[in-house]
Amino acid sequence: MKDKMLELIKAEEKRQKEQIQLIPSENFASEDVMAAIGSGLTNKYAEGYPGRRYYQGNAIIDEIENLTIARGKELLGVEHLNVQPYSGSPANSAVQMALLERDDKICGLKLSAGGHLTHGHPKITFSGKFFESIQYDVEPDGRIDYDKLENLVKETKPKMIFAGTTAYPYVLDFKRFGEIADSVGAWLVADISHIVGLVVGGVHMSPVEYAHVITSTTHKSLRGPRGAFIGVTKKGLEKDLELAKKIDKAVFPGLQGGPHENAIAAMGIAFAEASTPEFKEYAVQVLKNAKALAETLKKNGFRVFGTENHLMVVDVGREMGKQVALDLEAANIIVNANTIPHEEGSPLRPSGIRIGTPAMTTRGMKEEDMVKIGELICQVIKGENKEKVANEVKEWLKNF
Ligand SMILES: *Cc1c(COP(=O)(O)O)cnc(C)c1O
């Protein structure tokens, strides 16, 4: 008898192919990456680090993890790399556990302005409950005002500053972040989860000279497995010679048990793929596509925040974000509702949608395809028959 679960997996894979995927944090991993995730490596326990495992039988696993680390260090230009975090949130928690004491001050961009939960979102998160949270905002135009941030940091003297975003459509000035952190002796953690593919693809400023620690997921613009890494930079080691050791200890045994070596192998494959000229072309195309889509929406009269990277936030009318996202879903176009800068609606009923181009760029789309997607989005918002658009999308996607 066929397992119902296998049928559901097939159905989901079909859905992914038949709809336009515009969630900026999503992508399509390569067959090699998928094969590694689904390999026999999932069977093995490997608590510890290469050469220092608690169980026997890890000689090959050690080679695998070491190869992933070597490829990642080369690609990112960091001095030390921990590839064991299960995902982006545990990676950030590990950095906080390694470098902060309870009630220390942690500074991050507000969630509603495009920050992440793990950057000190108050009350309900680990980082917001155990540390004193200082949150900065964006300006009405959607940009970070670095002078304001500098004043806030000088006033409050946080011990750790996060530079990293989930819905920020502009380039992050890591140099300025570095100067601001240095002015009060704070740790600067660059969380490049969303933009890592753009950074290694050479189309976004790298934080490697300016941050002490770099965290990132590997399943977003990097196109790897669900997982994350923590990198320690030269600047980080200069601030604290023990930094790499502290990070490793916080990941294991501080926060995690056995590493997911199947994901670690897949991460190594993704690092190799990201080192190719084809990946650089992909990164360049992700930006071109985002620009083309943003321009199309602007031409049709929408207020668009961005874009200088892979994503944009579009104002679709007060508290209309969720309804528009639902209407687009009915038309086989997948986006998410999102707050806009200085949101005036309730956070549960945001006024924007967030759109990103990495996934459809991976499927081979170019600027003219983005113009078409932009026009389809406008048609749906202006009340065109959703079923008609849904069928058109499904047919069209067969070309990619
Ligand atoms: C996605 C993301 C995370 C969290 O990653 P998960 O794998 O979902 O836990 C953390 N920080 C930023 C900036 C992100 O975009």
Cβ atoms 215, 127 nearer than 8 A: no
We report the CATH number of the domain holding residue 176 as 3.40.640.10
| pTM assigned to the model | 0.97
Question: What is each CA distance from 127 to 61, 64, 122, in whole angstroms?
Answer: 32, 32, 8
> Does residue 95 lie in a domain region?
yes
> Does residue 17 lie in a domain region?
no
Q: Say whether both 252 and 394 belong to one domain.
A: no
Q: Say whether both 124 and 166 belong to one domain.
A: yes
Binding site membership of 354 for ligand 1 (Cβ less than 6 Å): no
Of 257, 273, 289, the domain-final residue: 273
Q: Say whether both 136 and 49 belong to one domain.
A: yes
Query: How many angstroms does the Cα of residue 87 sit away from the middle of ligand 1?
Result: 7
- Shortest CA distance to 76 belongs to which of 264, 266, 211, 256? 211
Q: Say whether both 371 and 302 belong to one domain.
A: yes
> Does residue 97 lie in a domain region?
yes
Q: Considering only CA atoms, which residue is closest to atom 10 of ligand 1?
A: 88
Query: Which atom of ligand 1 lies at the shortest distance from residue 194's CA?
Result: 15
pLDDT tens digits for the chain (400 residues)? 689 999 999 999 999 999 999 999 999 999 999 999 999 999 999 999 999 999 999 999 999 999 999 999 999 999 999 999 999 999 999 999 999 999 999 999 999 999 999 999 999 999 999 999 999 999 999 999 999 999 999 999 999 999 999 999 999 999 999 999 999 999 999 999 999 999 999 999 999 999 999 999 999 999 999 999 999 999 999 999 999 999 999 999 999 999 999 999 999 999 999 999 999 999 999 999 999 999 999 999 999 999 999 999 999 999 999 999 999 999 999 999 999 999 998 878 999 999 999 999 999 999 999 999 999 999 999 998 999 999 999 999 999 9
Q: Considering only CA atoms, which residue is closest to atom 12 of ligand 1?
A: 193
Q: Which two tokens stand for residue 85?
A: 């975090």
Q: Say whether both 261 and 289 belong to one domain.
A: no
> Does residue 302 lie in a domain region?
yes
| Enzyme catalytic residues | 45, 47, 191, 217, 220, 226
Q: Considering only CA atoms, which residue is closest to atom 13 of ligand 1?
A: 165
Query: For residues 72 and 77, what is the distance between their CA atoms, to the nearest angstrom?
Result: 8
Of 251, 273, 295, the domain-final residue: 273
Q: Say whether both 242 and 298 belong to one domain.
A: no
Residue 391: domain span: 278-399
Binding site membership of 88 for ligand 1 (Cβ less than 6 Å): yes
How do beta strands 213-217 and 187-191 pair? Answer: parallel
Which residue type occupies 14? K
Three-state secondary structure of 70-125: HHHHHHHCCCEEECCCCCHHHHHHHHHHHHCCCCCEEEEECHHHCCCHHHCCCCCC
Query: Which atom of ligand 1 lies at the shortest distance from residue 90's CA?
Result: 9
> Does residue 15 lie in a domain region?
no
What residues contact 274, with CB distance under 8 A and at least 6 apart? 75, 197, 200, 201, 222, 223, 224
Q: Say whether both 243 and 385 belong to one domain.
A: no
> Does residue 20 lie in a domain region?
no
Number of domains in the chain: 2
Mutate to test the pocket of ligand 1, among 27, 93, 95, 166 (most ligand atoms within 8 A of CB): 166
Q: How many CA within 13 A on the CB side of residue 145?
A: 11
Query: Which atom of ligand 1 lies at the shortest distance from residue 219's CA?
Result: 7
Residue with tokens 């003297």: 157
What residues contact 231, with CB distance under 8 A and at least 6 apart? 72, 73, 76, 78, 80, 81, 82, 208, 213, 214, 215, 216
What residues contact 225, with CB distance under 8 A and at least 6 apart? 29, 33, 36, 37, 218, 219, 262, 263, 266, 267, 270
> Does residue 294 lie in a domain region?
yes
Residue 53 phi, psi dihedral angles, 5° rounding: -100, 155
